[in-house]
A and B are shown apart, each in its own frame.
Chain A
Amino acid sequence: MRRAGVVFQKELLDGIRDRRAFIAVLVSISIFPIVMLVMGRFAEGIQDELRNMELPVAGQENAPALVEWLGQQPSLELVPAPEDPESAVRNREVDLVLRIPADYEERFAEGRPAEVELVADSSRTAAGAKAGRVTRLLEGYGQEVAALRLVSRGISPLLVRPLAVERAEVFSSRRRTAFSALGFIPFFLLMNAFFGGMQIASDAIAGERERGSIEALLLNAVPARFLVLGKWAAAAAFAVFLTLLGIGTCVLVLRFMPGALNISPSVADWVLVALTAIPLALFCSAIQVVLSTYAKSYKEAQTYFGYVAFLPMIPFFAVTFNWVEEGTWTAFIPILGQHLMILNVMAGEAVAAWELALAGLVALGAAAALLRFASGLFVRESVVFVR
């Protein structure tokens, strides 16, 4: 074990001096804030536009009552429409145009549905949100008019409303936020856990073999399992470090990003997240040790990592698109189990201690098995002398 410690120290020093490892640190801590910033700005921009919305209306003279009613709505300003609404929308001069045809008044008076047209480009998110708001306003106006017409004929408007649907939502709003907007926090943390040790694993194992220094290393009367253990420990230390750094970034982002997300996990929550993610980082580093041992060169190792890079994405999509039913069995599946547990912590729900322990033990057991396998592979002649 002492000798594994010697290998660990050397690989850590070697990794810290490796500029590529340093870049990995920078990328891992900056991606999440950047994504949050961009998404936050985007959402805020849409809110802003809805708040100070201009609505170009063509044919205002055809429906004075409707135009007056619209003009009274808060944070909505009616402006004259451009000459050709379709091409103006297509060329993005305006987001949408409301067109009132000349026969509006006539149909309205006859009690036939009076058509109005909304010219919009639904491929644009902001325009879609605006069109939605205008549609809801027009429907509201229509219901008001309908109610007045019924009353004037002595009929209660309630008669045409036989049902009143009330929704009792059991999905807490915090949970909804956690599962939608925060879905990428576990994704981001698990990516860090997954890729944190990649650089050291590939350089210390495949890279060492490629440079040819492995042969001398194997002559020091140190059993292969200690060499593998030490190299894995260095990779895992980096992965754990990056995971904790990632958690730190999440804490800062959630606290300081203006209005980003209305959610603030406690210190205990973050500790639970760390306890969930750390065993996974150890497990993922073991996967990389095996792949690097198998690879003939640094480049080949990186290629293999590319193949397994989708692993942390599976649970992300599985959860986002509701492919899996959460249950006891999910704790047994590395990555998926952790993903769900982190989400639950974010949602403010209790995570059972046994679940945490079980997921951790499964990950550690799998890591141990992988390392055992790698130790055998490590000294195989066909692996040592591949060049």
Chain B
Amino acid sequence: MIQVQGLRKTFGDVIAVDDVSFAAEDGRITGLLGPNGAGKSTTLRMLYGLMAPEAGEVAVDGVDVQRQPMTAQERIGALPDTHALYPRLTGRENVRYFARLRGIPADLTEARLDEFVRLLEMGDFVDRRAKGYSHGERSRVLLARALIHEPRNVLLDEPTNGLDVMSTRRMRDLIRELRDRGCAVLFSSHIMQEVSLLCDHIVIVAAGRVVAAGSPDAIREAAGCEDLEDAFVRLTGPGGAGDA
């Protein structure tokens, strides 16, 4: 469970995030939807404690991220937007490195790794060095690495960005499975279809502000549109609440 209250962050004159509040509840997939530059990544960085908000609070399972960043991070599994692996390590070594940093016993790590290799079909490449990975291969290893400690809260920054259809499907299946296990899943995207397919709860941000939040149905209703994409355009585009 992630609770966000009144977050604000500026870079010089630019207000990146302005009074953002929402919650990502357990057993629910929450989508952070917004156009490029809406402040999604900045918001997520404040959620996992890499950036300090100027105002507002973030609590992960009730733990204040500002006051106890290490405790909060133990409850989080995250895929930051940089999507980078260590090129000279193999896929497995990349995952093992983070597992060992988190103090997970080696046998447990190996068992979970094998499970991910099966689930995400990584057998062909996981023992090769990451340098030559395709986009889809890299994303799958990144996901396994973010989930190796079985976090209760999963934060994914544009996880399907640049993936082909098959990889995207695998990713979606895994996200649903995480929800069914009771995790709080929060993922950001700028793709409407992606969010409407997966999410139980949608938070639409534009120009650093939350312009709408609720179930897909509630959002359609609020915008007065039958189509979710129309709603998105109306809410985030020129003349929408984002400019208000």
B78→A216 contact, CB < 8 A: yes
B82→A219 contact, CB < 8 A: no
List the one stretch of B100-108, B200-208, B236-244 in contact with chain A.
Answer: B100-108
A211→B87 contact, CB < 8 A: yes
How far, in whole Å, are A146 and B83 apart by their CA atoms in the complex?
A: 91
Q: List A contacts of B103 (CB < 8 A).
A: 2-3
How far, in whole Å, are A384 and B83 apart by their CA atoms in the complex?
A: 15
B-contact 0/1 string along A227-240, CB 8 Å cutoff: 00000000000000
A10 in contact (CB, < 8 A): yes
Q: List A contacts of B79 (CB < 8 A).
A: 216
Q: A18-B88, A215-B50 are in contact. Are A3 and B101 (CB under 8 A)?
A: yes
Q: Which has the most chain A C-beta neighbours within 10 Å: B51, B74, B88, B93?
A: B88
Please give the distance in Å from B16's CB to the nearest CB on chain A: 11
Q: A218-B50, A221-B70 are in contact. Are A213 and B86 (CB under 8 A)?
A: yes
Q: List A contacts of B49 (CB < 8 A).
A: 219
A220 in contact (CB, < 8 A): yes
B98 in contact (CB, < 8 A): yes
B88→A221 contact, CB < 8 A: no
B225 in contact (CB, < 8 A): no
Q: List A contacts of B113 (CB < 8 A).
A: none
Q: List A contacts of B142 (CB < 8 A).
A: 216
Q: List B contacts of A385 (CB < 8 A).
A: 45, 50-51
B80 in contact (CB, < 8 A): yes
Q: List B contacts of A212 (CB < 8 A).
A: 80, 82-84
Closest partner residue, chain B, to A213 (CB atom): B84
- Contact partner of B102 (CB less than 8 A), chosen from A17, A211, A220, A384, is A220
**Residue total for B at the interface (Cβ-Cβ under 8 A):** 34
Q: A14-B89, A216-B145, A221-B74 are in contact. Are A6 and B97 (CB under 8 A)?
A: yes
Q: Which residues of B, 66-86, contact A by the 8 Å Cβ criterion?
A: 70-71, 73-74, 76, 78-86
How far, in whole Å, are A17 and B88 apart by their CA atoms in the complex?
A: 7
A219→B52 contact, CB < 8 A: no
B187 in contact (CB, < 8 A): no
How far, in whole Å, are A7 and B89 apart by their CA atoms in the complex?
A: 13
B116 in contact (CB, < 8 A): no
B50→A10 contact, CB < 8 A: no
B89→A10 contact, CB < 8 A: yes
Chain A interface (Cβ < 8 Å from any Cβ of B): 2-3, 6-7, 10, 13-14, 17-18, 211-213, 215-223, 379, 381, 384-385
A-B contact pairs, 22 of them (CB 8 A): A3-B101, A3-B103, A6-B97, A10-B89, A14-B88, A14-B89, A211-B82, A212-B82, A212-B83, A212-B84, A213-B82, A215-B50, A215-B80, A215-B82, A217-B101, A218-B50, A219-B78, A222-B101, A223-B70, A381-B52, A384-B50, A385-B50
